[in-house]
Amino acid sequence: MFQIGPYTFDSQVILAPMAGITDRPFRHLCRELGAGLVVSEVVTADSTLWTSRKSQLRLDHQGEAEPIAVQIAGGDAQMMAEAARLNVDNGAQIIDINMGCPAKKVCKKAAGSALLKDEQLVAEILHAVVNAVAVPVTLKFRTGWSLEARNALQVARIAEDAGVSALALHGRTRACAFRGKAEYDTIAAVVQSVAIPVFCNGDIDSPTKAQEVLHYTGAQAVMIGRAAQGRPWIFREIDHYLRTGEHLPEPSLTEIRDILCSHLRELYGFYGEFMGPRIARKHVSWYLQTLTGSKAFRVQFNRIENAEEQHASVQHFFERLITNEEIAA
Ligand SMILES: Cc1cc2nc3c(=O)[nH]c(=O)nc-3n(C[C@H](O)[C@H](O)[C@H](O)COP(=O)(O)O)c2cc1C
């Protein structure tokens, strides 16, 4: 259990924000499968860009389970404050600030993890956003700008002083990008140095790893990104293991088919007949990557442009696998 402002979360497993992936359908699915908190894809602080279809879809929280957590990115304190206000007006109940991913420059200013180099600016942005909204503000960041400039402890204290309600920390520096292994010593040190909840992020891909990392760092929750791609049931697996010390059985082929087919339906509904099938391709590829015959299937699947045809073809793929499994049993 952990707390962000007035919100209490029963599951210690959080879905990391991932641009292009953690859209409304995926967030819904992860929540249903055991994620305590899910965070939206990043939205630029420059609200003049919000009229694009991409931004409109990112700002759409219709029917979303509460609390709705929206991530914003930008390098200008007043713009970030205004973006936070507008998002709260639009339904956000938690504002998450992105200083964790190598986001592109916004308005010729650094944004995302590039901000970590300038602690004064970090403080200005955090104070401005916290003062602009009545909802809790969280910060997602990396351990520093580079291995030589690892300032997570300073940034964490700045955030706590500014009134930030929780921290999500990815155990890599900006310069590391996704190379090497995430390190958890800095996360453990941050947990020791602040009183607000800290969520541990980076390379957590199994129930046992989640438990080890929670134990090692003393963090309040784990945040899962890439390991949830094509495997959204990882949230219930980790949640169950943390509660009971026992592993849940792997989902059956029938269940994977049902989860994927319902995910596809949500994607078609959300993105429409043209974009839906295109967005679906990467998800299907992740779901199937360990299944027999998926490589050949994907080649022909990626040529399908029609939603109904895509859906039927996934069902057919699974029917064949399920029948083969029954014959073998
Ligand atoms: C495709 C992709 C998109 C991402 N987009 C964002 C984002 O919009 N905001 C953010 O703070 N982090 C973003 N991240 C970083 C993740 O939230 C997370 O910190 C990182 O993937 C490490 O966690 P993992 O090892 O569990 O994947 C992204 C990562 C990936 C792989």
Distance CA 152, CA 119 (A): 10
Structure tokens at 11: 């599951």
Question: Which amino acid does the sequence have at 152?
Answer: A
pTM of the model: 0.95
Question: How would you classify residue 310: left for phi > 0, otherwise alpha for psi between -120 and 50, otherwise beta?
Answer: alpha
Task: Give the pLDDT confidence score for residue 107 in this predicted structure.
Answer: 45
Q: Which atom of ligand 1 lies nearest, measured to the CA of 202?
A: 25
Give the whole-angstrom CA distance, residue 237 versus residue 175.
32
User: Taking the CA atoms of the chain, what radius of gyration do you get in angstroms?
Assistant: 20
Centroid of ligand 1 to alpha carbon of 66 (angstroms): 22
Rounded CA separation 214/110 (Å): 32
User: Distance, CA 226 to ligand 1 centroid (Å)?
Assistant: 7
Residues whose CB is less than 8 angstroms from the CB of residue 67 and which lie 6 or more positions away in sequence, other chains included: 4, 7, 37, 93, 94
Report whether residue 136 contacts ligand 1, using a CB cutoff of 6 Å. no
Which residues in the chain belong to E strands, given as ranges? 2-4, 7-9, 13-15, 37-38, 43-44, 69-73, 94-99, 137-142, 166-170, 198-201, 221-224
Residues 6+ apart with CB under 8 A from 75: 105, 106, 107, 109, 110, 111, 114, 115, 121, 125
**Which atom from ligand 1 is nearest to the alpha carbon of 73?**
9
C-alpha dihedral sign at 162, 190, 139, 93 = negative
Residues with catalytic roles: 101
Q: Which of 156, 162, 166, 157 is nearest to 69 (CA)?
A: 166
Q: Is the CB of 23 under 6 A from ligand 1?
A: no
The burial of 313, by beta-carbon neighbours within 10 Å (0-12 exposed, 13-18 middle, 19 or more buried), is given as middle
Contacts of 284 (CB under 8 A, 6+ apart): 260, 264, 298, 301, 310, 314
Q: What is the pLDDT of residue 187?
A: 98
Residue 38 corresponds to which amino acid?
V
Backbone angles phi, psi at 13, to 5 degrees: -120, 125
pLDDT of residue 148: 86
Query: So what's the pLDDT on residue 327?
Result: 80
Nearest CA to ligand 1 atom 22: 202
Residues of the chain with pLDDT under 50: 107
Ligand 1 neighbour 202 (Cβ under 6 A):
yes
* Concatenated DSSP letters of 258-270: HHHHHHHHHHHHH
Q: Are 141 and 167 in contact (CB under 8 A)?
A: yes
Cβ proximity of 228 and 234 under 8 Å: yes
The secondary structure of residue 173, as a DSSP letter, is: -
CA 2, chain centre distance (Å): 17
| Ligand 1: residue whose CA is nearest its atom 7 | 18
Atom 2 in ligand 1: residue holding the nearest Cα? 18
Q: How far is the centre of ligand 1, averaged over its atoms, from the C-alpha of 26 (Å)?
A: 14
Q: Looking at ligand 1, which residue's alpha carbon is closest to its atom 28?
A: 18
Give, for ligand 1, the residue of 18, 140, 279 to mutate: max count of ligand atoms closer than 8 Å to Cβ: 18
Q: Comparing C-alpha atoms, which of 52, 60, 26, 12 is closest to residue 231?
A: 26
